[in-house]
Amino acid sequence: MTTNLILAAQAAQGSGSSMSFIVMMVAIFAIMWFFMIRPQQKKQKEIQKFQNSLTEGTSVVTGGGIYGIVKKIDLVANIIEVEIAKGVVIRVDKGYVFKDMASTPVQGK
């Protein structure tokens, strides 16, 4: 009889530890999502919103780090012409154009 009680206690204890492991894994995933994945998705949406609202004359930075001003936007081909120096215009894919933070006024100072 005592062996049955010991075996039952061990079985109950074993299932409890596996349940706590599952709860721990869910908690870790939730923390990772909240602190890593969610902010990255938010930043990606902001970049997409900026790229969709581009107009001629906007200061931008390309994915390669080239600063310039948008001169022409071709929505069909998804290409933007950027003037990087007087008379020098390059064609860049719209997905590789980001906001020029150097020309953005600093808030709070």
- Tens digit of pLDDT at every position of the chain (109 positions): 544 545 455 555 555 678 888 999 999 999 988 888 889 999 999 989 988 888 899 899 998 899 999 999 998 898 999 999 999 999 999 989 988 776 666 555 5
Write down the pLDDT at residue 73: 92
**In this structure, is residue 39 part of a structural domain?**
yes
Q: Are residues 48 and 64 in the same domain?
A: no
Residue-wise DSSP of 25-70: HHHHHHHHIIIIIHHHHHHHHHHHHHHHT--TT-EEEETTS-EEEE
**In this structure, is residue 69 part of a structural domain?**
yes
Write down the pLDDT at residue 105: 61
Neighbours of 106 (CB within 10 A): 6
Q: Using DSSP, state whether 4 is helix, strand or coil.
A: helix
Write down the pLDDT at residue 7: 47
Range of the domain at 91: 56-103
- Considering only CA atoms, which of 102, 63, 106 is closest in space to residue 82? 63
Q: The whole model's pTM is what?
A: 0.62
In this structure, what are the phi and psi dihedrals at residue 83, rounded to the nearest 5 degrees?
A: -90, 115
Q: CATH number of the domain that 64 lies in?
A: 2.30.30
**In this structure, is residue 109 part of a structural domain?**
no
- How many domains in the chain? 2
Write down the pLDDT at residue 104: 60
